[in-house]
Each structure stands twice: as C-alpha cells, then as structure tokens.
Structure 1
Amino acid sequence: MGSDSEQPEEKPESFIRSNRRRQILEGAIATLAAVGFAGASLARIAKDLSISKGVISYHFESKDDLMIKVVEYGYQAMVEAVLPQILEQKTVADSLRTHIPELARYALDHRPTLLAIGEVMGHLRRPDGRLHYGAEGNEIFYEGLEQMYRSGQESGELRDFDVRVMAITQQASIDAMFAYWANHPEHDLVAHAEQLADLFIHAIRREPTPRATRRKS
C-alpha cells in the first residue's frame, strides 16, 4: 500500500457532483417551502432550478430519496449551528436557555428549511402507508434530552423526575412552537422560545432546602 501522500486527491468531478447535490437540495427546500409537499414534484423542483428532471434523477433515486436527504441536510445544518453553543454551557439550566432560543433564532434565519422539513415529516409515507417520520423518529431527540436530565440529577442540580416523560414533553413543546410559527409567521418566535425554556427550567430544577427557622423562647 502507498503512503497517505500517494493517495489520489478528490477528483474535480466529485467536487462538482457534491455542489450539484447541494444545489438540488437547496432548490428542493425552496420549492417545498413555496408549494408544499404535494406540489414539490421532481419536475417542479427541476423547473424552479432551471435544470432538467434527469439531472435530479441522476443524483437522487426518487422523490422519496430526495425528500429524506432534504430532512437530513436540514437537520445537519441546524445541529452544526446550535450544538457547539449548547456544549459550552456548564449547567442544564444554561443549556436549556441556550438550546431552545438558539433553535428559534436559527429558524428565523432559515424559515424555508424549517418549513420544508415540516412538509416532508408531515407527508412522506412508507410503502405500508405509515408516516416515514413517525413517533419513533423522535427517539434520538428523547435520548439526548434524557442524558442531559440524568447528568443534572446526578450532579444535584435537578429534582427527581421521570426523564423520559420530561424529554417527550419538551420535544413536543418545541415541535408545537414551530408548528404554530409556521402558520403565524408574525409570532415572536424567540420570545416564545425564551418563555418555554424558563417553563422547563422551573419544572426540573431542584428547589433549595429551606433553612430551619429558629423558634423564639
């Protein structure tokens, strides 16, 4: 085997192909946000991008494949933008004060992406008719929140509670916040997120033990 220095560099066509896939994904996001899942056919996406439908079919196996990649692409960008800020926090309370509002701020700057993800998750179905992104798709979110809650309980920052129940409740509240904002774009999303974070902090934090009062003789 040759050394690493002898390995061939990425071919120019691979770079071009990667850029073309990204262009199609971003075009699909724009079309989904504009006309919804039902209207976002491969032909419509191609028309909006001023390319042939065959170009899309060369890079993606089907509409379903493209839609799945749209969700993965959107979530990856969101995680890369928000996660580093969460990991900098020292307490669970600070993590929540960062996590939920920063998701909201990201959404404000990337509304088409959030709308597109919502369209795909609400409509894409499996061959048996079940939603492709059903309730089981939230497991990765639940597990991450549970880990955060457990660490806070172990450190003594948080009170005792069922971490799965709290994880489900928090994720459902975030989903509902975005769903409401999708239909009411004038809604103050960041203010909503900040109040939601405060709500969960009050729900999970351990209350200080009250000092015993000295009885007067």
Structure 2
Amino acid sequence: MYREPPSRPVHGRTFTQDARRAQIVEATIETLAEIGYTRTSFTAICRHANLSSTGLISYHFAGKPQLLREVTRTIVEKAGPLRACRVAQETTYRGKLAAYISSHFDFMAAFPAHARALTEIAELVREGPAPGLDDVARSALSVEGLVVLLEEGCRAGEFRVSDPAVLALAVHGAIDNVVRHHELFAVADLDRLARELTAIFTRCTLSP
C-alpha cells in the first residue's frame, strides 16, 4: 500500500515544523498590525494562529526577539524582490527612483498587514536598544541600496545630488512619515501619495 514519504528535514527541521513556524510568523504579523507591538504577546499570537498553547510558539522560537527576527526577515524577503523587480524594469535612473518610491506603496497596498508590522518593528528599534533584533531590523531599514541608485544616477548625468546619502535618508524619512500618516488617517489614496513624493524628490535631483 502506498504511503506518503516522510518529511525531509530542511535546515534540521521537517516540512511540518517549517509549516508551523510559518503559521506562527504570519499570525505574529497579523497581531502586530492589528494591536501593535506593546500588546503583542504569545497569548495574542495564539489566538490569531488558533494554537492550543503558547508552548507551541516557545517550541519553535526561544523568545519574542527571535520570533520578531523571523518576522522581519519574512517581510523583507517579500518586499525586497518586489522593489528590485520594479526598479530593474526601468531604463532611466529617474524611472528607477520613481519605481523605488512607488514600490513601497505598492507593497503596502498588496500586503497591508506586513507593512504595518514592519512599521511597528521599526518604531521599536528607533526608540532604543532592542536586544536580539537590532541588527536585522536596522538592515531592513538600510538606505544603502537607494544611495547606490542615486550615485549611479549622478555618474550617468541624470541626477545632480551633492550628498546621495543625505537625500536617501530624506526619501526614506518622507516615505515612513507619509505611510504612518496614511495608516492613522487614510487621507489620500496610495497611488497619489507615491506620485506626489516622486515629484518632490525628482525635483530635488535636478541640476540647479
């Protein structure tokens, strides 16, 4: 009689264990998005994941910092390819900058819970030391990729930017603040927000 083959281990875990970890991560994302970091507990996550005990979370994750590291990694791995694909499709650096900005809003529209969860984690890191989380969260918030894009645009003669690193920080700061304002008040549609920010920062890169 045919029997299902046993689950093969992935990085020392079975497919079943990986599926349970993924379930917990998605439930954590939903919980962060719905009630915020301070109210997110293993008990609250259990309710979202329909788990019978918080012990099931503790079995897979040593603590909240380790779980949040995995949440951050999961969100970044979902958002990164979307942004990279949008940017790569453009043939000019002005187009790449516009795609870079709009991809953040595209991600927010497609995965609102993921975007909100990452905002919560970012706020946690900005408020002070977050043991076990600082490195991965700061990597997720890095502007290095945008700095490279701006530098290449300058070398190609499309941009005139005196300090690409400062402008990259300004772009990210604007995106973060517009996103937070939208989450609180929903004052405008995401497409319009992306267009307005793109127009502002395109003007910032023009030659004087």
The answer as to whether partners of 2:33 and 2:117 remain within 8 angstroms in 1 is yes
Task: Name the residue aligned to 1:151.
Answer: 152
Mapped to 2, the partners of 1:167 and 1:201 lie a distance apart of 12
Structure 1 unaligned spans of 5+ = 1-8, 208-217
Task: Name the residue aligned to 2:4.
Answer: none
Matched, 1:102 2:100: no
How far did 1:74 drift? 1.0
How far did 1:204 drift? 0.5
Q: Decide whether aligned partners of structure 1 residues 92 and 36 sit closer, same or farther in structure 2, where only a CA change above 3 A counts.
A: same
Q: Percent identity, please.
A: 24
Matched, 1:10 2:11: no
Q: Decide whether aligned partners of structure 1 residues 73 and 100 sit closer, same or farther in structure 2, where only a CA change above 3 A counts.
A: same
Matched, 1:190 2:188: no
TM-score for the superposition, normalised by structure 2 = 0.84
The answer as to whether partners of 2:72 and 2:140 remain within 8 angstroms in 1 is no
Mapped to 2, the partners of 1:124 and 1:158 lie a distance apart of 32
Letter in 1 for 2:8: E
**What SS does the corresponding residue of 1:24 show, helix, strand or coil?**
helix
How many residue pairs get aligned? The number is 196
Task: Name the residue aligned to 2:23.
Answer: 23
Task: Name the residue aligned to 1:49.
Answer: 49
**What SS does the corresponding residue of 1:156 show, helix, strand or coil?**
coil
Deviates most, 163-172 or 81-90:
81-90
Show CA shifts across 1:73-124 (max 9, x none).
1121011222112112121110122121222122012111111111222236
Q: Decide whether aligned partners of structure 1 residues 196 and 31 sit closer, same or farther in structure 2, where only a CA change above 3 A counts.
A: same
Matched, 1:39 2:18: no
Deviates most, 179-188 or 87-96:
179-188
The answer as to whether partners of 2:29 and 2:113 remain within 8 angstroms in 1 is yes
Mapped to 2, the partners of 1:184 and 1:58 lie a distance apart of 39
Mapped to 2, the partners of 1:22 and 1:79 lie a distance apart of 18
Mapped to 2, the partners of 1:125 and 1:191 lie a distance apart of 28
Mapped to 2, the partners of 1:94 and 1:123 lie a distance apart of 33
Structure with greater Cα Rg? 1
Letter in 2 for 1:28: T
Mapped to 2, the partners of 1:38 and 1:124 lie a distance apart of 13
Structure 2 unaligned spans of 5+ = 1-6
Alignment of 1:1-217 (within 5 A): 10-11=8-9, 14-51=14-51, 52-123=53-124, 130-131=129-130, 133=134, 137=138, 141-206=142-207
The answer as to whether partners of 1:64 and 1:124 remain within 8 angstroms in 2 is no
Letter in 2 for 1:206: S
How far did 1:138 drift? 6.3
How far did 1:183 drift? 0.7
